[in-house]
Structure 1
Amino acid sequence: MAQTPFYRLPYGARRDLLAQQRHLTVDQLAQIASRRRAGDADLIENYLTTYGVPEGVAVNLRINGRDVTVPMVTEEPSVIAAASNGGRLLTSKMGIITSVARREVMGQIVLSHVDDRTGIKAWLTAHQEELLRVANAVHPSLLGHGGGVRSLRIRYIPPHWMSLDLFVDVGEAMGANLVNTICEAVATYLKEHLTVNVLMSILSNYATHSLATAEVAVPVNQLATKSVDGATVAQRICDASDFAAHDPYRAVTHNKGIMNGIDAVVLAMGNDWRAVESGAHAYASRHGSYQSLSRWWIVGETLRGELTLPLALGYVGGATRVFPLVTINQQIAQVTSARDLMGVTVAVGLAQNLAALRALVTDGIQHGHMQLQLKSLALSVGATPGEVPAVVGRLRGETQPTTAQAKAALAAVRAANLKK
């Protein structure tokens, strides 16, 4: 008798088989059981348990003249602290100014082994209106809400491909499934009217028609530290920004710091952070080499910064309907539309970037970072929440505290508590 595929086994059978094969202990199985959540098994295949990631809020952010509190989901101790610190540094009457010129998701119908590219392009160009009609007939309700397929673009990609690109205003939704359905309908129409080989029909996560920009102007004196004056800090930030524009090795880490904040907001708002990541890094390479996404420069006594990102985020649909916290998070951030969400997200990225650069060119990134990491280190060796402050206190004097030192600190704390 053929063995039942793993994904078809009942939950208990899958869990027990995994426990047997990987020698999971009773305590480990208890942890898995304690984190199991009803409904999550319907979201993914081979569900085992729910892996929780902490959520906090970034404060001190002023965006387009209003104070905003932004929920962020991350496991990295310094991310929310950096976003809040960056927001504090950028405080002014208007704070961070954001803008979204348009919001369209692109879909592709890819034709392969195109021999008569001139003839195919001519036919597609001549039938643009008909192709738009076919595309918009797929979801007529989208037109009723002011959305729909806005335009087409034809590209030849050597050596033998053509891409028919559709740009779709998906309203407040993320729009992935919607765009894929539209692309497949247009692909069917092409196959009925042309002799072409349709390789695939799918959206692109390179959202160049959904760019969000954050800009800021901050007096240089707001950037001063205890040991470095504001003008010097501002100049060092600009130097670091220029270096990241020229060296891809630095640019990757520069942009990773930005994405620390971006991803945490995107995840908290039930959107696809993986799509955002891939699109952002493609955008960083748009000029032929990988460069920094943000730039900083000085005008008089003011430090200016700018960050532009492709951010095709949705306010409704997708995971926003699955996770109840998304609605709460939208309310906390006072986000009421996809454009609002795009603006808040790119603003957090710019604040995150400033905080990281300021720390990097003054006290060094480890000064503040390691203080926050000490809590994680204490927890990793088994400290209870009540023991964490005492363990952290014993580790603060160490330059680079190790796991062994953390265990010793925890043992000392527990020994001291026994004597009380």
Structure 2
Amino acid sequence: MGSVETGKSSRISGFHKLSPADRLKLVQGFAGLDAAAAGHLAQPALDPHLADHMIENVVSAISIPIGVATNMKVDGRDLLVPMATEESSVVAAVCNAARQCYDAGGFTTSVSGTEMIAQIQLVQVADPQAARIRILERKTEIAEICNACDPVLVKLGGGFRDVEVRVIATQGGPMVITHLIVDTRDAMGANTVNTMAEKLAPSIERWGSGKVYLRILSNLADRRLARARATWPLEAIGGAAVRDGMLAAYHFADADPYRAATHNKGIMNGVSAIVLATGNDTRAVEAGAHAYAARNGHYGSLTTWEVAADGGLSGTLELPMPVGLVGGATKVHPTAQACLKILGVQSAADLARIIAAVGLAQNFSALKALATTGIQSGHMALHAQNVAIAAGATGEEVARVAAVLVERKAVRQDVAETVLRELRGKA
């Protein structure tokens, strides 16, 4: 997986203490970034001309910080992982979780494939069960119509794979739903499968003797799953009491949807940060993940946690991961391209596997914090700098005000404003 030179370690001591410029130099050397990519990351401006062609009615662009998670070892390869997020403690959480399982081998990952689903909705059908069979009988013709939409994809080894037809009961009566199963390879594939569904719709109407309305992909990409697993030794996490507290937190999340929503949001803190950094569709990934968490009729945890044979903590994560390396913003946005170079991935499957590993790491850190010091301790210590800046602190004032806020355990803007006035009064 990937082309980044082997033998390099992601265990970079004191990385968080360096200046942004010095961190970037280390990342450039680790990933072999060229001067253009490094220069863009140092001054991450988006060309107005490019922005104007990415979306409509453009007036400006917003910058989100990109941090780099260290200590990540995925399938035996050391990685530096770029993460785009506005939330404090997310990147640090991944670094800490990865460090604690690094010596145990890090993360092992896999994917189920790169297949996406397009749905074609057929209504006003007199004989829905017979229509289902009539459509299934046309599999060869369906394959020809779909593959003709994208000969390049077929040449690359992708294209139509299978057809499924379901009859579902709805408030408006029975509907015949055709699923096109398409291997989109290194593309996320939305445009490809949507085109195929639209091209096929008139034929579905004719074969099924009904009316087609919707023809669009499904974001519940359960044929495109990414999986990650890791084991944290007992001594690395602080003993059996911490392990058991983490298991209790997981059991709570898996049983209660109110807890599971926040539990899974924490997982997506890590997942969405890489999806965004690489120019992929965060909304598609998030929608698919949360739908997958409810696939059994109950919304629960995306992760599973168990006691390993040696007494350590074993964690796994499985979720849909429709991401790509080609098409959309991933291909045209210079920051996304630089982030992909840092990861050194060669396929969409490689990227999906890394994202799953980061999601599992994120969940580990959240569960450990909840089972020990509480989630606010580390998070608010990092968030204090944001509060200090919001209160008007600049330069060295930021760290000084933040330190006082943490010491007083009052990370609030009104307190920060008071502390800042006191500091400036003494000065």
Taking structure 1 as the reference length, the TM-score comes to 0.87
Cα separation, 1, equivalents of 2:324 and 2:355: 12
SS at match of 1:291: coil
Q: Please, which moves more after superposition, 302-311 or 185-194?
A: 185-194
Comparing 245-254 with 295-304, greater Cα deviation is found at: 295-304
Residue 353 of structure 1 aligns with which residue? 363
- Counterpart pick for 2:152 among 107, 122, 141: 141
1:187-206 CA distances to partner (integer Å, 9 max, x unpaired)?
Answer: 12223555320011111111
1:335 aligned onto 2:345 = yes
Cα pair distance change 1:366/1:264, threshold 3 Å: same
Task: Give the match's secondary structure for 2:179.
Answer: strand
Alignment-mate amino acid for residue 215 of structure 2: S
User: Which residue is equivalent to 1:87?
Assistant: 98
1:57 aligned to which of 64, 68, 71? 68
State the secondary structure of the residue aligned to 2:346: coil
1:293 to 297, 302, 320: 302
Q: Which moved more, 1:285-294 or 1:331-340?
A: 331-340
Q: In structure 2, what is the Cα distance between the partners aligned to 1:71 and 1:297?
A: 29
- Equivalent residue, structure 1, for 2:32: none
- 1:4-403 to structure 2, matched below 5 A, reads 37-92=48-103, 94-159=105-170, 160-224=174-238, 230-299=239-308, 300-403=310-413
Q: Which stretch of structure 1 is more off in the superposition, 241-250 or 192-201?
A: 192-201
Whichever residue aligns with residue 234 of structure 1, its letter is R
1:118-174: per-residue Cα shift (whole Å, max 9, x none)? 221121121111111111111122111100110111011103211100111111111
State the one-letter code of the partner of 2:164. Answer: R
Per-residue CA deviation, residues 269-297 of structure 1 (Å, 9 max, x unaligned), is: 11000000110000000110110100111
Q: Could you list the per-position Cα deviations for residues 363-386 of structure 1 after superposition, in whole angstroms to 9, with x for gaps in the alignment?
A: 111111110110110111222233
Distance 2:127 2:419 in 1: 73
Looking at structure 1, the residues matched to 133 and 321 of structure 2 have their Cα atoms a distance apart, in angstroms, of: 33
Distance 1:366 1:321 in 2: 38
* Worse-superposed segment, 395-404 or 109-118: 395-404
Question: Against the structure 1 CA distance between its residues 36 and 66, is the aligned structure 2 distance closer, same or farther, given a 3 Å change threshold?
Answer: closer
CA distance in 1, matches of 2:198, 2:282: 25
1:199-238 per-position Cα deviation (integer Å, ceiling 9, x unaligned): 11111111000000001122111101xxxxx111111111
Q: Percent identity over the alignment?
A: 42
Q: Deviations over 1:94-125 (max 9, x none)?
A: 31100012110110111123221122112112
Q: 2: CA distance between counterparts of 1:111 and 1:221?
A: 58
Amino acid at match of 1:68: L
CA gap 1:336/1:35 in 2 versus in 1, 3 angstroms: closer
Q: State the secondary structure of the residue aligned to 1:396.
A: helix
Are the equivalent residues in 1 in contact too, given 2:405–2:412 (CA < 8 A)? no
> How far apart in 2 are the matches of 1:335 and 1:406?
43
Task: Indicate conservation of the 8 Å contact 2:292/2:319, yes or no.
Answer: yes
The Cα shift of 1:401 comes to 2.8
CA distance in 1, matches of 2:207, 2:296: 37
Structure 1 residues 304, 93: CA separation in 2 closer, same or farther (over 3 Å shift)?
closer
Q: Which amino acid aligns with 2:182?
A: V
Alpha-carbon offset, residue 316 of structure 1: 1.2
Long gaps (5+) in structure 1: 1-33, 225-229
